[in-house]
Structure 1
Amino acid sequence: MNKKKHVKSPAPSAPKSAATELLAEQPAMLLDFLLAALSGRSRNSVKSILARGQVSVNGRPTTKYDFPLQPGHRVIVSWAKVAERSEVKLNGLSLMHEDNDLIVVHKEAGLLSIATAQEKEQTAYRQLSDYVRRSNPSARIFIVHRLDRDTSGVMMFAKSERVQQLLQNEWKDAVLERTYVALVEGEVREKEGTVKSWLKENKAMVMYSSSKPDDGQLAITRYKVLKTNNRASLLQVELETGRKNQIRVHMMDIGHPVVGDKKYGSRGGSPIGRLGLHAHVLSFRHPASGETMRFESPMPSSFLRVFREQ
């Protein structure tokens, strides 16, 4: 394929109009085409514009870098939308991906996913709701899964109730990988293992394990030791099921509660000043396109500091 790109008219680096229209004159991948057309912008800037759903091909928005353009395809880059949304400041959140159906974010520890009846403070849900309404006042978002307040990492929201239901109803098949990193108390001697139990919730809203089959919700957690010393262990944890507080309960069950987790058995203060749990990787099949999506949030550096301070 000839890699040279041809456009109807070059896009200005600082556009004054609400949108720029481009015309593909020969086959090209969308990202390559935009990099040539928007030569006044950096590669990261162009990728961000794509990821935020600011680009449409023949009237249909797309976020796919490798969308195959053909001669005659009309590409529109919406600048007004970028400007409007850039005014929304996200606290404790950063966007990892956005398209017509989904928003994927990195959530910092300390931020609630969604408000409860008792807690009305700032949440990830409220901030993202404000964010999408900047460009469409009737837009809404829908929570697909939650992270505990003190857990950081990758989190996904749907932009419609239909997509939310698709993901939740087909969660086991749609999610290909859901990996956490857990910093737990003490030296875990078994280098890898599987914890299986049925989880229940008591009147105090604390989850606990039952070994009786079908006595609660089946929960399966697999773990592998990445680092360990006599103070703590760093585990890679994979969820086969996604139950409330599942990792925290199962780590308590094996005698190594998550660092800082007084609710589930932690006996001392946290050497990292927070709960030692991070949602590291989320991979799933996109509910609309079927495309495999994979998002990775780097492990907090504080999790490794415990093993350097000997």
Structure 2
Amino acid sequence: MRKENKAERRNASASSPRHSAPARRLQVTEPGELLEFLLAKLAPQGRNSVKSMLARGQISVDDRVEKQYNHPLHPGQSVTVSKTRASSAAPLVGLRILYEDDAIIVVHKDAGLLSIATAQETELTAYRQLNAHVRQADPKARIFVLHRLDRETSGVMMFAKTEQVQQNMQDNWKDVVTERTYVALVEGMVKKTNGTISSWLKETSTLKMYSSPVANDGQHAITHYKVLRANRNYSLVEIELETGRKNQIRVHMQDIGHPVAGDKKYGAKTKPFSRLGLHARVLAFEHPTTGKPMRFETDIPKPFLSQFKEESR
């Protein structure tokens, strides 16, 4: 976990779009969901028309652009319908919003997109794009880093929308986050169908992680795994993290002799597709302000499953 750097904040600020002037403001008088509220208030406009308005960023709740159909509404809130789409809002690249409210934003990140910029890399990132997204409604808004995924790892990740939420979640990460499950396509047939890998991780001067042969030397890392499918070339493994160390899964899979497919840095000899065979499939946690259990699950990438097509026929 780490906080965003100055380069990220500068780039995000430069890319912040402006938003259109509102045309109509509607008051919420009873609890409900955004789409149903709009259908009732904007009749006779049809469902597809209203969904398009949401997708184009024409709908705001309490002056914050909202695109989620099931966004909850409460009495006293106001919903603004803009005449025109937020045309200056750049489309998200390699990124899809799964959930958003005033405290958090949960996304699906594609392989190939950086989560956060480094001092050497200031290209387009998930962080930069999401900062621009939240500033459509409020030019002073920001997002805050909670955790990250490697560039070539796809899947679910989450950002905070206030510094207080970030601090509280990071301070209580082990208690707040109830499940982090990955799927990995690894080389070879993993013969032990399930197990736990425990080691002490350290980093070399070239920024490569490894398991120290000495106990208590480094950061303790624990990985649980279960084989879902296997053939002589590859195994599809479900992985649950007990700790969240840098490159933990990649090191531990190498440690048991089954490196992640396409991961040359950590011993892989094959590259069945143009990405790393690692996907963050499930993220479950307690909502930082409501305490409500939340769980987000995504599909296993099709290229992972395609390695087992022959055996399923």
Does TM, scored on the shorter chain, surpass 0.5?
Answer: yes
What secondary structure, in the 3-state scheme, does the structure 1 residue paired with 2:199 have?
Answer: strand
| Deviation sequence 1:267-300 (CA, Å, 0-9, x none) | 22x1122100001011111111111111122211
| Deviation sequence 1:23-77 (CA, Å, 0-9, x none) | 54xx66446555544553538939968x999335xx9x9x8959586xxx34421
Partner of 2:23: 18
Q: CA deviation at 1:140?
A: 1.1
Instruction: Find the aligned partners of 1:217 and 1:41 in 2 and give their Cα distance.
Output: 56
| Deviation sequence 1:195-222 (CA, Å, 0-9, x none) | 1111111111111112533211111111
Instruction: Find the aligned partners of 1:163 and 1:266 in 2 and give their Cα distance.
Output: 38
Partner of 2:103: 101
RMSD: 3.1
TM-score of the aligned structures, taking structure 1 as reference length? 0.82
Instruction: Find the aligned partners of 1:93 and 1:134 in 2 and give their Cα distance.
Output: 17
Instruction: Find the aligned partners of 2:88 and 2:180 in 1 and give their Cα distance.
Output: 30
CA separation of 1:37 and 1:301: change in aligned 2, threshold 3 A: same
Greater CA drift, 81-90 or 219-228: 81-90
Partner of 2:8: none
Whether the aligned pair in 2 keeps the contact of 1:177 and 1:284 (CA below 8 Å) is yes
Partner of 2:12: none
Instruction: Find the aligned partners of 1:298 and 1:283 in 2 and give their Cα distance.
Output: 15
Instruction: Find the aligned partners of 2:241 and 2:273 in 1 and give their Cα distance.
Output: 24
Partner of 1:238: 240
Q: Give the total of aligned pairs.
A: 285
Instruction: Find the aligned partners of 2:94 and 2:217 in 1 and give their Cα distance.
Output: 37
Instruction: Find the aligned partners of 1:266 and 1:286 in 2 and give their Cα distance.
Output: 38
Partner of 2:255: 253
Instruction: Find the aligned partners of 1:195 and 1:29 in 2 and give their Cα distance.
Output: 46
TM-score of the aligned structures, taking structure 2 as reference length? 0.81
CA separation of 1:254 and 1:34: change in aligned 2, threshold 3 A: same
Q: Does 1:304 align with 2:305?
A: yes
What secondary structure, in the 3-state scheme, does the structure 2 residue paired with 1:18 have?
Answer: strand
Q: Does 1:54 align with 2:60?
A: yes
Instruction: Find the aligned partners of 1:162 and 1:258 in 2 and give their Cα distance.
Output: 36
Partner of 1:42: 47
Partner of 1:285: 286
What secondary structure, in the 3-state scheme, does the structure 2 residue paired with 1:54 have?
Answer: strand
CA separation of 1:66 and 1:121: change in aligned 2, threshold 3 A: closer
Whether the aligned pair in 1 keeps the contact of 2:58 and 2:86 (CA below 8 Å) is no
CA separation of 1:190 and 1:162: change in aligned 2, threshold 3 A: same
Instruction: Find the aligned partners of 2:296 and 2:84 in 1 and give their Cα distance.
Output: 23
What secondary structure, in the 3-state scheme, does the structure 2 residue paired with 1:289 have?
Answer: coil
Instruction: Find the aligned partners of 2:58 and 2:228 in 1 and give their Cα distance.
Output: 35
Partner of 2:122: 120
Whether the aligned pair in 2 keeps the contact of 1:103 and 1:159 (CA below 8 Å) is yes
Whether the aligned pair in 2 keeps the contact of 1:53 and 1:99 (CA below 8 Å) is no
Q: Report the residue type matching 2:154 in the other structure.
A: S
What secondary structure, in the 3-state scheme, does the structure 1 residue paired with 2:236 have?
Answer: strand
Q: Does 1:169 align with 2:171?
A: yes
Whether the aligned pair in 1 keeps the contact of 2:28 and 2:73 (CA below 8 Å) is no
What secondary structure, in the 3-state scheme, does the structure 1 residue paired with 2:175 have?
Answer: helix
Unpaired segments of 5 or more residues in structure 1?
A: 1-15
CA separation of 1:96 and 1:307: change in aligned 2, threshold 3 A: same
Instruction: Find the aligned partners of 1:233 and 1:223 in 2 and give their Cα distance.
Output: 11
Q: Does 1:214 align with 2:220?
A: no
Instruction: Find the aligned partners of 2:84 and 2:296 in 1 and give their Cα distance.
Output: 23
Instruction: Find the aligned partners of 1:119 and 1:23 in 2 and give their Cα distance.
Output: 44
Whether the aligned pair in 2 keeps the contact of 1:186 and 1:231 (CA below 8 Å) is yes
Partner of 1:12: none
Higher relative contact order (CA 8 A, sep 6+): 2
CA separation of 1:94 and 1:81: change in aligned 2, threshold 3 A: farther
Q: Does 1:89 align with 2:91?
A: yes
Instruction: Find the aligned partners of 2:41 and 2:52 in 1 and give their Cα distance.
Output: 10
Q: CA deviation at 1:99?
A: 0.8
Whether the aligned pair in 2 keeps the contact of 1:19 and 1:76 (CA below 8 Å) is no
Q: Report the residue type matching 1:186 in the other structure.
A: G
Q: Report the residue type matching 2:286 in the other structure.
A: R
CA separation of 1:210 and 1:255: change in aligned 2, threshold 3 A: same
Whether the aligned pair in 1 keeps the contact of 2:59 and 2:81 (CA below 8 Å) is no
